[in-house]
Structures are given as C-alpha cells and as structure tokens.
Amino acid sequence: MNPVIFAGDKPGQNTKSQWLQDKNIRIFYGDSDNDITAARDVGARGIRILRASNSTYKPLPQRVRLVKR
C-alpha cells in the first residue's frame, strides 16, 4: 500500500495543483472541492470520493456540474 500524501493549501493558493503537475499525476481522487479543482487545473482526471457523513471536516463539498472532455 502507498502512503497518503497531504499536499495542503496555502491561503489563496491551491498547492495541490503544483504537486500534481510536478509528479505528472493523471488520475487524482479526493473528498474536497479543492481536490477536484486541482486535478482539473493540471488536466488530470479528478474522482470525487464521498466524505463520511459523520466527518467534522468542514466545509462539506458542494455538488458540481460534470463536463465531458
């Protein structure tokens, strides 16, 4: 099993985008809007994983419209 890597965010900057680009990631999954946005920013396929309903991590993700490529 591979380790989980937390790329994190800096205020006003999605640092995941740079990390995804540097590692040439083509498929990326996550449970936040920023995860999916970061994947799209670098041309990777973003896969939404549902966050547990009892999660205390906020804000909860918002529904987004999927666009076919």
Query: Rounded to whole angstroms, how far apart are CA atoms 19 and 1?
Result: 20
Question: Can you give the pLDDT at residue 32?
Answer: 84
Q: SS3 of 60, please?
A: coil
53 is a domain residue: yes
pTM of whole model > 0.95?
A: no
Question: Can you give the pLDDT at residue 60?
Answer: 67
Query: Rounded to whole angstroms, how far apart are CA atoms 42 and 37?
Result: 9
Question: Can you give the pLDDT at residue 43?
Answer: 96
Enumerate the H helices of the chain as residue ranges: 15-22, 33-41
| Number of separate domains in the chain | 1
Question: Can you give the pLDDT at residue 64?
Answer: 63
pLDDT digits (tens, 9 = 90+) for 10-26: 776 777 888 899 999 99
3 is a domain residue: no
Query: Rounded to whole angstroms, how far apart are CA atoms 35 and 2?
Result: 18
Mean pLDDT by 10 residues, the chain (69 residues): 68 80 93 89 93 76 62
> Which residue range is the domain that position 50 belongs to?
10-69
16 is a domain residue: yes
42 is a domain residue: yes
Cis previous bond, 59, omega within 30:
yes
